[in-house]
Chains A and B, each alone.
Chain A
Amino acid sequence: MSQESVAATDTVKQERLDTAGQKRTEAGRFTGKVREISGRVLPPAAAFLIGILLWQAVVMITGVPPYILPAPTDIAIAAAENAERLQTAVLSTMLSSVVGFIASVVLGIGAAVLMASSKMVERSLYPYAIILQTIPVVAIAPIIVIWFGSGLNAIMMIAFIIAFFPMVSNTLIGLNATEKNMKDLFHLYNASRWQVMWKLRFPAALPFIIGGMKISCTLAVIGAIVGEYIAGGSGGSGGLGYAITVAASRLQTPYLFTLGLSASVFGIVFFLTVNYFSSRLLRSWHDSELKQD
């Protein structure tokens, strides 16, 4: 083999033109994106505003007492009055969810890689991974409290457990979805199992793993809040779930709404953060994968 390639240049030039053609369209893409965002963001934002105004109007006109249905202004006032408590609660929930989530990602991927390395292990454990996934978190939580005592440990544990199984099953599906041709190729080139796993199956499974992370981050928040609801009492700072039990028992309806909203805002922010980092991670190649399907 030497380095001549004279005969090849003609065809490559032709092909190069094709790629250049693709790049040209990128200039118009920015304005298109702005238009797309405004088109997607404006309608729901307007709907939101109208909804809030209607809500305020209905409460003011009918005179429903705030402990039944607080007006948006009541909720805002409750948030301002309890700002410090609210902040502690949110931070505590944030801590438990993030820790539970990260643990579920690390251990979930680890468990899936182990299972995928041996058909025997997979066949014996995978059914349980599926079954355990269907047990409701409210049933698991009290058991965790019995084992670990109430407080932050138990809450993190509950967040972890509920986020763990989707990580395992998604990663495992991804590891097993490798194209047959690719596997053949690796075998033809005498690749070891280790090489097949880390140079082929794992990178090929990344889009599935990311999919699992998107499910798990949402579940970790739910797990943390349910955990706090059940095990937050003696844990000191409490968290959103615990604050909800307290506000409910005192009939502080406006603050209850504040807490519910905070929980969902945090859930959304957490999801968007995970989403943002994962799509950055995948940008180099996975959209080409998705387009092929």
Chain B
Amino acid sequence: MNTAVQTPVQMTLTGVGKVYANDTTALQNVNLEIRRGEFYSFVGPSGCGKSTIFKLIAGLSEPTSGSIEMNGEELSKEDIGFVFQNATLLPWRPVLDNVALPLELKGVGKKERREKAQEAVDLVGLSGYEESLPRELSGGMQMRVSIARALTARPKLLLMDEPFGALDEMTRQNLHFELLRIWQKTEMTVLFITHNVFESVFLSTKVAIMSAGPGRITKVHRIPDYERNERFRSSPEFSDWVGTISEELHQHEA
């Protein structure tokens, strides 16, 4: 994605704050500009409000101050896909039916939703596993199903909340390549929560560093358009970025 900087602004968060009913200030004065097609990571210690930002963006919860504006075409709930840390699959449904769930809930007819689900299953490389039950799959494969499910409704915006946190390193790295490939092909905007600095540098066009108490964004870095391959992982540039971001993360930890 060489054009990330020039693409139009998709979403603007201005002075966004969130105070929960129990008086927890989860977020304070968050200002963000997210451009179409960006891969935007959020790193920060747990409890710094990362998931809360996602809930606000998804419209599951209202900010107590500030505003979130969608620029250009209005994003509806249906244009947003979600992936959580655990695959959250329905254990009694085979892969294809799990993947088709968002379309099924929308009332899309059986034939159409199976076709679209099949495309998403192929896209994440799970062809041949359509009729398998989740428990028959490894953790990495379950995560692929979860990603496929988020992709079936062809979202313009994909929110991923620590999606690879529970996976082993090998599986995680494979899924990184996979995710980058899908992102480049579909040209959607990806917002990605992680507490893994390596992951954020490897994947992102932008990395927002957050800190807790109260949750806020302390810095946003734009990562240049390196080619994201194995060589990048062991390049000095990669280490520099990881170093910079780690340092800033620790600075703000009280």
**Which residue numbers of A lie inside 8 Å of B, CB to CB?**
1-5, 7-12, 15, 18-19, 179, 181-182, 184-191, 195, 199-200, 203, 206, 284-286, 288-289
Contacts and interface: CB of A to CB of B under 8 A. Distances in A.
Given A1-B151, A5-B123, A11-B125, A288 B177 contact: no
Nearest to B153: A189
A190 B103 CA distance: 11
A177 to B, nearest CB: 14
> Which secondary structure characterizes the binding site on chain A?
helix
Nearest to A284: B92
Given A190-B78, A284-B92, A5 B119 contact: no
B60 A188 contact: yes
B105 A190 contact: yes
Contacts of B84: 181, 184-185
Contact of A189 (B106, B127, B138): B106
B58 A188 contact: yes
Nearest first, the 4 A-B pairs at minimum CB distance are: A8-B125, A288-B135, A285-B92, A5-B125
Contacts of A11: 125, 140, 171, 174, 178
A19 B140 CA distance: 13
Interface string B106-146: 10000000000001101111110000011111101100100
B167 to A, nearest CB: 12
B77 A190 contact: yes
Given A7-B125, A11-B125, A2 B82 contact: no
B185 interface: yes
A1 B119 contact: yes
A181 B86 contact: yes
Contacts of B174: 10-11
B46 interface: no
A1 B185 contact: yes
Interface centre among A18, A185, A195, A203 (most CB of B within 10 A): A185
Interface residues of B, number: 44
Nearest to A206: B92
Given A5-B127, A284-B92, 9 more contacts: A182-B88, A184-B84, A186-B105, A189-B153, A190-B77, A190-B78, A191-B105, A203-B92, A286-B92
Contact of B106 (A188, A190, A284): A190
B179 to A, nearest CB: 11
> Which secondary structure characterizes the binding site on chain B?
helix
A2 B185 contact: yes
Nearest to B171: A11
Interface string B13-27: 000000000000000
Nearest to A285: B92
10 contacts: A1-B151, A4-B123, A7-B177, A185-B82, A188-B58, A188-B77, A188-B82, A200-B90, A285-B92, A288-B133
A202 to B, nearest CB: 11
Contacts of A284: 92, 133
A185 B120 CA distance: 18
A19 B141 CA distance: 11
A1 B120 contact: yes
Contacts of A2: 119, 123, 185
Contacts of B233: none
Nearest to A23: B136
Contacts of A8: 124-126, 144, 178
Contacts of B101: 189, 199
B2 interface: no
Contacts of A190: 77-78, 105-106
A1 B90 contact: no
A206 B93 CA distance: 14
Contact of B141 (A5, A12, A203): A12
Contact of B136 (A19, A203, A286): A19
A90 to B, nearest CB: 37
B182 to A, nearest CB: 8
Nearest to B92: A285
B186 interface: yes
Contact of B125 (A9, A19, A191, A199): A9
A178 to B, nearest CB: 11
